[in-house]
Amino acid sequence: MTDVPLLQVEDLNLKFHLFEGVSHVLDGVEMQVRKGERVALVGESGCGKSVFVRTVLGLLNRRNVEVSGEIRYHGEDLFGLSDGQRRDLRGRKITMIFQDPVAALNPVFTIADQMTEVIRRGNPKCRSAEALDIARQALLQVSIDEPDRVLKSYPFQLSGGMNQRVIITMALINRPELVLADEPGTSLDVTVQEQTLRLMTRLTQDAGAAVLLIAHNLGVVREFAERVYVMYAGTIVEEGTVEEVFRDPLHPYTKALFAAVPRLTGGAMPRAIEGMVPDYTRAPEGCRFHPRCPHATERCKVPPPTLTMGPGRRVKCILHEGQAVEAVHG
Positions that interact with another protein (CB under 8 A): 44-45, 142-143, 145, 159-162, 189-195, 197-199, 216-220, 222-223, 246, 256-273, 276
Cβ closer to another protein: 129 or 268?
268
Spatial contact of 96 and 57, defined as CB atoms under 8 Å apart: yes
Cβ closer to another protein: 110 or 187?
187
The span from the CA of 61 to the CA of 55, in Å, is: 9
The span from the CA of 95 to the CA of 77, in Å, is: 18
Cβ closer to another protein: 82 or 191?
191
Which ranges constitute the DSSP H helices of the chain? 49-57, 83-89, 101-104, 111-122, 128-141, 147-152, 160-172, 190-207, 218-224, 242-247, 252-259
Strands 21-33 and 7-18: antiparallel
Residue 70: count of CB within 10 angstroms of its CB = 14
- Best CA proximity match to 139, nearest among 156, 123, 121, 158: 158
Q: How far is the CB of 228 from another protein (least distance, A)?
A: 12
Q: How far is the CB of 151 from another protein (least distance, A)?
A: 17
Q: How far is the CB of 79 from another protein (least distance, A)?
A: 32
The span from the CA of 328 to the CA of 222, in Å, is: 28
Cβ closer to another protein: 231 or 257?
257
Q: How far is the CB of 218 from another protein (least distance, A)?
A: 5
The span from the CA of 122 to the CA of 88, in Å, is: 9
The span from the CA of 239 to the CA of 327, in Å, is: 15
Spatial contact of 172 and 178, defined as CB atoms under 8 Å apart: no
Cβ closer to another protein: 1 or 268?
268
DSSP 44: -
Q: Which amino acid is at 255?
A: K
Q: How far is the CB of 197 from another protein (least distance, A)?
A: 7
Cβ closer to another protein: 1 or 269?
269
Q: How far is the CB of 269 from another protein (least distance, A)?
A: 5
The span from the CA of 187 to the CA of 180, in Å, is: 17
Spatial contact of 292 and 309, defined as CB atoms under 8 Å apart: no
Q: How far is the CB of 194 from another protein (least distance, A)?
A: 4
Cβ closer to another protein: 175 or 202?
202
